Amino acid sequence: MEHRTGISRRSFIASTAALGLFAATAPAFAQGTPKRGGTLAIGIEGASTGDTLDPRTFNSPYWAVAAGSIFNTLVEVQGPANDLKPGLAKSWEGSNGGKTWVFDLVEGATFHNGKPVTTADVIYSLQIHNAEDSRSNSRAIAAGIAGMTADSATRLTIDLAEGNYFFPAMLSNYPLCIIPEGTTVFDGVGSGPYKISRFSPGEVLELTRHDGYFKTDAAWVDQVVILAANDPAARASAFQSGQVQIASMLDTRTAELIKAMPGKGLVTLSSSQFVGFNMRADIAPFDNADLRMAMKLAIDREDVLRRVYGGMGRIGNDTPIPPNDPLFAADIVQNSYNPEKAAELFKKSGITGPLQLHTSDAATVPAVDMAALFKEHAAKAGIEIEIIREPADGYWANVWAQAPFHATVWGARPTADMILTTAYSAASPGNDTHWGNAEFDAAIAAARVEPDEAKRKTIYAQAQALLSSDGGAIIPVFGDVVEGVAAEVEGYVPGTQPLANYRAAEQVWFA
């Protein structure tokens, strides 16, 4: 199927390789004849007792996997090449410099309640992310939509306020899943491969096959259990014991031990996922640019890579674009450990007293270990950090994006523009540093409509330079993502994001 975008596929993939490059260390998974049956158990972090089934609240690895099992987006990203594939849209075509997009829906797609999926459902599902009370991390994407028209029950025209050649890829963002029109009580009714049989927030999500699923070559297992395995040791133990057949976000330092176990395979993604620290740039004390730069120079990135990730990863420069990405701005100044300069800037900022850094296992174990190292590194610059270790439950609701100085984790996205927009544009509720820069916003807007690959890369480099020098994010390292897949699981095709781009549940079967 040809999906016309106004930009060549080669050029598009060069841009969308951002945020998820697949490491060559993945094993070759068996690809025999698919067969139905069995229960697939997945262990993943990021769940909380306060979780809901409202897609606007989906903002963790747990909910990315849940969304990919229960719902569909219009467009999907598959495989290590970041290929765009049909989801609920079987085709799409852009025109008017990327400002107008026409989507044709697949025939025969139904929700779990039997209702056919129509363009009215799509319009409603996208609109709610830009509602006045929305805190969706996809709000900036939805806000770019100027209007939507249902040309028929299966054809939709979307007009954007500004051109964006990468708009179809942005619609693959997991919170932008399609739900029935008019939904106000969010009960998890989607069109995806599995429907909910039991949901216990912060504990487990049990699913059964949606027999009316429109993809006839998917959803092989009878049931899926998504366990809230926030503790990394418990997650690894569950995989080793066979309680779960797939476990993601495993500790890189214990990966080799698991790899040596019979019947256990490992996948390593050298992706753009990162753990970092947010300095809220809109409130004291981090509304002070000198203080923000002092902190960026007060962390020893090489030490973090060695001691937290066992050397499995790449050094970051306080932007979400890793150095193994084709859009990485290699020519801008690298923020490196410089305690003397950090001390100078800290003194210039006029800030005194300890800085409270909130961290938690909810943001992964590396976030806790990294905070301890940061405290050690910063002390050599005369900067005192007081670590506040928060409980995992409630961290994303009560601490993330709210505390002045706190740990964060962002998963890979299929395009550079998506992560730059959702995480750092001024209008995005997902902007967890609350940093706003008009020059940055203008740069990424210009990059979306630039068809020339070299010029587009230059514009993205300008955006990265602004983030690195002035932004509120400290991104010291891009640690490799390690996930375990049992040998009895067949059909697993690793993607650029964890859990086969979050759609492992519909992909695999048992030997």
Residue 377 lies in a domain: yes
Say whether both 474 and 486 belong to one domain: no
Asked if pLDDT for residue 25 goes beyond 50, the answer is: no
Would you state the pLDDT for residue 365?
84
Residue 160 lies in a domain: yes
Q: Is the peptide bond before 285 cis (omega within 30 degrees of 0)?
A: yes
Would you state the pLDDT for residue 133?
87
Residue that is written with structure tokens 């996809």 in the block: 138
Asked if pLDDT for residue 270 goes beyond 90, the answer is: no
Residue 297 lies in a domain: yes
Say whether both 409 and 502 belong to one domain: no
Amino acid in the structure at residue 169: A
Q: How far apart are CA 345 and CA 333, in angstroms?
A: 17
Residue 17 lies in a domain: yes
Say whether both 332 and 441 belong to one domain: yes
Residue 458 lies in a domain: yes
Residue 245 lies in a domain: no
Beta carbons of 26 and 267 less than 8 angstroms apart: yes
Lowest-pLDDT choice from 61-65, 231-235, 467-471: 231-235
Q: What backbone torsions phi and psi does residue 342 show, to the nearest 5 degrees?
A: -60, -45
Say whether both 489 and 430 belong to one domain: no
Q: How far apart are CA 455 and CA 452, in angstroms?
A: 5
Would you state the pLDDT for residue 30?
57
Closest of 197, 211, 229 to residue 42, by C-alpha: 229
Integer-rounded Cα Rg, in Å, for the chain is: 22
Q: How far apart are CA 333 and CA 80, in angstroms?
A: 30
Q: How far apart are CA 354 and CA 386, in angstroms?
A: 6
Say whether both 132 and 157 belong to one domain: yes
Amino acid in the structure at residue 407: A
Task: Fill in the DSSP letter of residue 116.
Answer: B
Asked if pLDDT for residue 19 goes beyond 60, the answer is: no
Domain region containing 94 = 9-192+481-510
Q: How far is CA 72 from the centre of its chain?
A: 16
Asked if pLDDT for residue 77 goes beyond 80, the answer is: yes
Would you state the pLDDT for residue 31?
72
Section 50-69 average pLDDT: 95
Would you state the pLDDT for residue 6?
44
Asked if pLDDT for residue 351 goes beyond 70, the answer is: yes
Secondary structure (3-state) at 250: strand
Structure tokens at 360: 């938690």
Say whether both 344 and 319 belong to one domain: yes
Section 376-399 average pLDDT: 95
Say whether both 470 and 488 belong to one domain: no
Say whether both 427 and 466 belong to one domain: yes
| C-alpha distances in Å from residue 500, one per residue of 171, 174, 250, 422 | 17, 13, 15, 22
Residues 6+ apart with CB under 8 A from 478: 270, 271, 272, 273, 274, 313, 314, 315, 316, 322, 323
Strands 100-105 and 89-95: antiparallel
Would you state the pLDDT for residue 29?
59
Average pLDDT, the chain: 91
| C-alpha distances in Å from residue 263, one per residue of 167, 245, 484 | 41, 10, 10
Q: How far apart are CA 235 and CA 1, in angstroms?
A: 39
Would you state the pLDDT for residue 11?
43
Say whether both 385 and 326 belong to one domain: yes
Asked if pLDDT for residue 491 goes beyond 60, the answer is: yes
Q: How far apart are CA 348 and CA 133, in angstroms?
A: 39
Say whether both 287 and 425 belong to one domain: yes
Task: Fill in the DSSP letter of residue 333.
Answer: P
Section 416-434 average pLDDT: 93
231: left (phi over 0), alpha (psi -120 to 50) or beta: beta
| Length of the chain (residues) | 511
pLDDT digits (tens, 9 = 90+) for 442-462: 999 999 999 898 999 999 999
Q: How many domains does the chain have?
A: 2
Closest of 317, 175, 227, 253 to residue 41, by C-alpha: 227
Residue that is written with structure tokens 């000198």 in the block: 290
Strands 481-486 and 264-270: antiparallel
Residue 447 lies in a domain: yes
Residues 6+ apart with CB under 8 A from 51: 57, 62, 63, 201, 202
Residues 6+ apart with CB under 8 A from 301: 315, 316, 336, 337, 476, 477
Q: How far apart are CA 357 and CA 367, in angstroms?
A: 11
Amino acid in the structure at residue 27: P
Section 50-73 average pLDDT: 96
Strand order in the sheet with 145-150: 89-95, 100-105, 155-160, 145-150
Say whether both 489 and 418 belong to one domain: no
Percent of residues, the chain, with pLDDT higher than 90: 77
Say whether both 360 and 389 belong to one domain: yes
Q: How far apart are CA 296 and CA 281, in angstroms?
A: 13
Q: How far apart are CA 59 and CA 431, in angstroms?
A: 12
Q: How far apart are CA 499 and CA 224, in angstroms?
A: 13
What CATH code is carried by the domain that includes residue 454?
3.10.105.10
pLDDT digits (tens, 9 = 90+) for 217-267: 999 999 999 999 988 889 999 999 999 999 998 888 777 788 888 999 999
Residue 132 lies in a domain: yes
DSSP secondary structure of 358-398: EE-GGG-HHHHHHHHHHHHHHHTTT--EEEEE--STTHHHH
Would you state the pLDDT for residue 350?
97
What CATH code is carried by the domain that includes residue 37?
3.90.76.10
Q: How far is CA 181 from the centre of its chain?
A: 26
Q: How far apart are CA 46 and CA 389, in angstroms?
A: 16
